[in-house]
Structure formats: C-alpha cells, structure tokens
C-alpha cells in the first residue's frame, strides 16, 4: 500500500465511494473493510459516499479534506 512510503507518513486519505445511486453499489462499510482502512490506525482517513452525476457527497468529502488539511 502507498501509505508505507516514508514520504506519505503524514498524508490524509479521502476515498470517494462513487455510484452510490446504483442498486449494486458497495456500502461504505464494505468498501472500508475491503480496503483495510481500519489497519491505518495512525492515519487520518475518510470514506465519502458519492453520486457524481447528482453531485451528492462531493462537497462533503472536499469539506472534510479541507478541514483536515487546515489542521496541519
């Protein structure tokens, strides 16, 4: 995984779980499990459900990222 690189030790991670409007979309909790994000205990991460065609979740994810970066 990229987060083992020393250059990224303080990087935050934002994952957009897109296409949440589709009936077979993977739930955010399932995606979190599949990506093994719980193992990134020393990292700040967030998974944001989105539907790009409707614009839902995009601003929320970017707001989260902006808030996290402003803390640094």
In a domain, 46, yes or no: no
Where is the binding site for GTP, in residues? Answer: 18-21
Give me the number of domains the chain comprises: 1
- The model's pTM: 0.85
For residue 57, the enclosing domain spans 1-26+52-72
Where is the binding site, in residues? Answer: 18-21
- Per residue of the chain (72 residues), give pLDDT as tens: 555 667 777 889 999 999 999 999 999 999 999 999 998 888 899 999 999 999 999 999 999 999 999 998
CA distances from 7 to 11, 32, 34, 68 (A): 8, 23, 24, 18
- For 17, phi then psi, to 5°, come to -90, 90
């Amino acid at each position: 995984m990229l987060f083992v690189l020393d250059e990224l030790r303080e990087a935050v991670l934002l994952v957009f779980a897109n296409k949440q409007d589709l009936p077979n979309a993977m739930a955010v909790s399932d995606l979190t499990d599949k990506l093994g994000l719980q193992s990134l205990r020393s990292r700040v991460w967030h998974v944001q459900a989105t539907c790009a065609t409707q614009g839902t979740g995009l601003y929320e994810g970017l707001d989260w990222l902006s808030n996290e970066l402003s803390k640094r």
